[in-house]
Structure 1
Amino acid sequence: MGFSSLFVGATGVVAHGNRMQVVANNLANVSTMGFRRADALFCDAMSRQLASGGGQYESGASYSSQIGMGVAMSAVRNIFTQSGLELTSTSTDLAISGNGFFGVRDPGSEGAAGATHYTRAGAFRFDLDAYLVDPHGFRLQGYVVDRQTGEVSNQVSDVQLPYEDVIIDGQPARVVRSQPRATSSVAMVTNLDAMSGDKHSSETNPFFAMLAAYDGSRADGNPFGDNQPAYSSNLTVYDSEGNERKLSVHFDPVDTSTLSNAVPGYIYWEYLVALPTSADGSDAFNTSSAGLAGMGVLVFTDQGELVEQSAYSLDPGARADGKVLSNWAPASFSADGKPEFSFTYGSNGAAIGEMVTISYDFGLTSRTSSWKPGGATAADVGRNANNLPGMDDARRDARITTSYDQSSFTLFQIQDGHTWGYLLNTSVDKDGFLSGYFSNGQSEQFYQVANYRFTSEWGLRRAGNNHFVSTDASGEAIVGKAGQGGRGFFEQNSLETSNVDMAQEFADMIITQRGYQANTKVITTTDSLLNTLISIKR
């Protein structure tokens, strides 16, 4: 009788002891966010050939007689199955729904091999330097998004908010700001009361009667004095420094009885765009032309629908002579077919910045960005409605200015400028775009979080802290973006739970316990046999 069974039993005890450690580690991490459970895999040890050799079957085939030498743990395999997601109240808590890993870099190992680790645990926070880090200080990796163009870079880097160190109320502060943007377009939808009376009239130039009445040199800053137009609408715009500026649009109906070639039943309204006379930064300051920015005519059907518009802008070299009609020519168009007006902001006559150009949209745009034939200047229009340069190939918007038989009011107005804004909060969408939301109502994308995959996830090595590192067996990390190449998507306000199944682990623990006990029994039984053999000699 051989006593190698002692060794065989010992291998069983060692193997099942190691398996119990794997089970224990799984159970210990049942509440660890993003933890991946492991399985212990066994294999039999090399067998020993019996001295008697082998034999032959009746068929003539030979066989050998072997005795097994026990068991060994061949591998501990990490299981990367998806687990459940737990909702949180923190916007920087992230989970991956599907395949992939977050990439996190150790800031203390600049350029070192293996400095980037990989994890499914997405409990991230912004640190003092505005890096998005995990609880161990490793920095999340992502693609930079250009704040101006929205273009996503091709290289990954540490995710960090673009902060500035500034002084606020005499105290140093670290903030993320949205840059100001000068207003370049205005859209306004109003209803102009079809029953309004003409407040300003002119026998020779009825379409521009408001211009004749306008006086920007008045000391009270009210260019129309006591005789206000039929309706005025004010709005706030912004200069390039983010300062608020005011614009006013004045409307007044045109007495059609003074017109020639007017379409019967049609309603004509003149409009004039102006900034406060004290805010004119051109040489028109303190003149009767101070504040003038643009003017034109709106034409409505007898049903109150806007069907035509003309617009005139003032010659920049003749701003001080804005009351002269020949200095007003048909306005240029923006790229999207809207008339544009140009002027210069100022304070007490001193210019602030360069001349600005703002497009104005009442609901009509020109598909060709051009005017139909008409008078070369406002002076060529006179009383003849046919001399007004209407929009070529005009397109009506869904929201458009009207002239119905009801009180005048502004239904809608919007402009595209804004002042400085301070970061209020952030979010990450399913594609991984990290966006910031600012106090000025703006939002910007900063980064797109990277999603890493591997040729063989089974080859990853645990590095502690819920991290894995790549090995020769896993292959190098393949970085990409959510939803591409089989990668999963991101979930905000969520953390992935451990994929440990307690019921399965308890079942494995019982089996492991029974295996361990059985192998210890092999050892004690073999020891008893050995003692019996020794007692024969006695």
Structure 2
Amino acid sequence: MLRSLFSGVTGLKSHQTRMDVIGNNIANVNTYGFKSSRATFRDVYYQTISSATNASGNRGGSNASQIGYGSSVGSIDILNGRTGFASTGRSMDLYIDGEGYFVVKDGAGNERLTQVGTFSFDGDGNLTDGNGNFVCGYSVASTQSTTNVGTTKITFGNLTDGEKNGQGYLDGYQIEVVKDTATATTSKVDIDLKKKKITVTLGADNMTKGGLMTALTTNWPTTPTDGDKDASDNYIIGKDKDGKDVLWSDWSTSFDKSLIKVDGIKSGDASTVAGYADDVTATTGKITEEANFEGDGTGKENVKKIINTKGEMKNISVGTDGTITGEGTDGTIQIIGKIAVANVPNPDALQHEGNSYYKAVANTGDITYTSAGNDSTGALRSGGLEQSNVDLANEFSDMIMTQRGFQANSKIITVSDEMLETLVNLKR
């Protein structure tokens, strides 16, 4: 049989595979987060008719003579080029502005990677993606509350869940209040126990050459004016780690009245400090939480599914580093968790799993887990998703060349068949 017949068959198969790849690319031109692929060819096998020889004293050298047997698909590669931001207007739609993949797990704990950030919270508080799998990240280890009064930032003490350490609780906040005892008549802090609001009056004489206020408080109110009471008419100011009421009498005697840090008061005479020439009186409005996260960026074992344990939340949003915050029913801003991002050294080695998922297999390298913007990963942008990176102009050009290649290989088979027919008809 003619070798060209087999070469034509391999060419048809190779071009058919390439057309399959092109068809899949075009079909996913509007699939969020889709990465297009390409098929490359390689030659298959060569039969050596005559080998190469060296030159001798009376004869020149000769080159080898070989006949090839067609082509095959050499590789099907993922093209991981970055694409544009497709605005959706939905705050929980996330786009990775750079390298990195979101980490999700199914109910059996199988991990997958994706760049499609269509996230939402289910009825049990689990953060899930569009396929119902759990989105992974870091849970909150401890929080501290901050607020601004004018240009002054007030930082409350750290509070670790499950620890009391003799401290008083204010609906989940450890409160450390400062008054400058030298100027108590002009500086004061009033606490709204229910709403977690602080009203601070800073007198101009706080701006001394000593700089920040550093004195311990000595002047406390005798009772919380609007706290709830228990059956014995004692004021209740919060709950301890076991859910037991914390009473004002216990809190006021055992609470460590150490300092709240007040940043932004500059040293120098009040008359020379801009904005502080007169008394400053301001109501904080909302207290903001800052959080420390469990194992942020230290390893895969700390990346777990994110669960909202704060209860009903509204106005949920995600920061550029993946921190998820929401507004509680009392108006305070609370931190729910932080979304993790996986950094894959060789993303071209990832294996497609369907549903916009990838699976880490051999040759992907040592995958690391971190928060967005760290370890060479991109920051998160909310309100949009990643577009498909399919280039239609390129795909149509490849389709034309593939069709012509397929046509040419079919012609090889036709001509080879005609030659065989001529050979068979030599004797009639």
Task: With the length of structure 2 as denominator, give the TM-score of the two structures.
Answer: 0.69
Q: Which residue of 2 aligns with 1:126?
A: 121
Q: Distance in 2 between matches of 1:84 and 1:417?
A: 36
Determine if contact 2:197/2:284 at 8 Å carries over to the other structure.
no
Q: State the 1:134 CA deviation.
A: 1.5
Q: Which residue of 2 aligns with 1:472?
A: 362
Q: Which residue of 2 aligns with 1:344?
A: 223
Q: Kindly tell me: are residues 53 and 351 of structure 1, through their superposed partners in 2, closer, same or farther at Cα, counting changes over 3 Å? A: closer
Q: State the 1:28 CA deviation.
A: 0.3
Q: Kindly tell me: are residues 77 and 182 of structure 1, through their superposed partners in 2, closer, same or farther at Cα, counting changes over 3 Å? A: closer
Task: Mark the runs of 5 or more structure 1 residues left unpaired by the alignment.
Answer: 151-177, 189-207, 209-231, 250-297, 299-304, 310-333, 368-392, 404-409
Q: Kindly tell me: are residues 23 and 57 of structure 1, through their superposed partners in 2, closer, same or farther at Cα, counting changes over 3 Å? A: farther
Bigger mean CA offset, 518-527 vs 58-67: 58-67
Question: Matches of residues 133-532 of structure 1 in structure 2 within 5 Å?
Answer: 133-149=128-144, 179=171, 181=173, 184-185=176-177, 237-239=191-193, 242=194, 306=205, 336-337=214-215, 339-342=217-220, 343-345=222-224, 350-352=233-235, 353-355=247-249, 356=252, 396=270, 402=278, 411-414=281-284, 423-532=313-422
Q: Distance in 1 between matches of 2:343 and 2:207?
A: 59
Q: Deviations over 1:195-252 (max 9, x none)?
A: xxxxxxxxxxxxx9xxxxxxxxxxxxxxxxxxxxxxx99997333xx37899999xxx
Q: Distance in 1 between matches of 2:12 and 2:219?
A: 89
Question: Matches of residues 31-110 of structure 1 in structure 2 within 5 Å?
Answer: 31-50=30-49, 52-54=50-52, 60-107=60-107, 109-110=108-109
Q: State the 1:482 CA deviation.
A: 2.2
Q: Distance in 2 between matches of 1:415 and 1:534?
A: 97
Q: Distance in 2 between matches of 1:97 and 1:19?
A: 31
SS at match of 2:117: coil
Determine if contact 1:145/1:447 at 8 Å carries over to the other structure.
yes
SS at match of 1:35: coil
SS at match of 1:66: strand
Determine if contact 2:344/2:366 at 8 Å carries over to the other structure.
yes
The reply to whether residue 21 of structure 1 matches residue 43 of structure 2 is: no
Q: Kindly tell me: are residues 247 and 122 of structure 1, through their superposed partners in 2, closer, same or farther at Cα, counting changes over 3 Å? A: closer
Determine if contact 2:19/2:399 at 8 Å carries over to the other structure.
yes
Q: State the 1:464 CA deviation.
A: 0.5
Q: State the 1:484 CA deviation.
A: 2.5
SS at match of 2:419: helix
Q: Distance in 2 between matches of 1:80 and 1:6?
A: 37
Determine if contact 1:40/1:77 at 8 Å carries over to the other structure.
yes
Aligned length: 349
RMSD: 4.2
Q: Kindly tell me: are residues 440 and 131 of structure 1, through their superposed partners in 2, closer, same or farther at Cα, counting changes over 3 Å? A: same
SS at match of 1:447: strand
Q: State the 1:437 CA deviation.
A: 2.5
Q: Kindly tell me: are residues 411 and 76 of structure 1, through their superposed partners in 2, closer, same or farther at Cα, counting changes over 3 Å? A: same
SS at match of 2:372: coil
The residue identity in structure 2 corresponding to 1:16 is: H
Q: Kindly tell me: are residues 246 and 135 of structure 1, through their superposed partners in 2, closer, same or farther at Cα, counting changes over 3 Å? A: closer
Determine if contact 2:286/2:333 at 8 Å carries over to the other structure.
no
Determine if contact 2:54/2:61 at 8 Å carries over to the other structure.
yes
Q: Which residue of 1 aligns with 2:242?
A: none
SS at match of 1:63: coil
User: What's the % identity of the aligned pairs?
Assistant: 29
Q: State the 1:441 CA deviation.
A: 3.7
The residue identity in structure 2 corresponding to 1:237 is: I
Q: Distance in 2 between matches of 1:123 and 1:141?
A: 13
Determine if contact 1:338/1:366 at 8 Å carries over to the other structure.
no
Q: State the 1:522 CA deviation.
A: 0.4
Q: State the 1:45 CA deviation.
A: 0.5
The residue identity in structure 1 corresponding to 2:91 is: S
Q: State the 1:478 CA deviation.
A: 2.0
Q: State the 1:473 CA deviation.
A: 2.2
The reply to whether residue 116 of structure 1 matches residue 111 of structure 2 is: yes
Question: Which of these two proteins has the greater Rg computed from alpha carbons?
Answer: 1
Q: Deviations over 1:351-372 (max 9, x none)?
A: 31224488999x9x999xxxxx
The residue identity in structure 1 corresponding to 2:248 is: E
Q: Distance in 1 between matches of 2:113 and 2:224?
A: 54
Q: State the 1:432 CA deviation.
A: 1.5
Task: With the length of structure 1 as denominator, give the TM-score of the two structures.
Answer: 0.56
SS at match of 1:148: strand
SS at match of 1:445: strand
| Greater relative contact order, per chain length (Cα 8 Å cut-off, separation 6+) | 2
Q: State the 1:460 CA deviation.
A: 1.0
Q: Kindly tell me: are residues 248 and 533 of structure 1, through their superposed partners in 2, closer, same or farther at Cα, counting changes over 3 Å? A: closer
The residue identity in structure 1 corresponding to 2:324 is: L
Q: Distance in 2 between matches of 1:26 and 1:526?
A: 34
The residue identity in structure 1 corresponding to 2:45 is: M
Determine if contact 1:147/1:446 at 8 Å carries over to the other structure.
no
Q: Distance in 2 between matches of 1:416 and 1:89?
A: 26
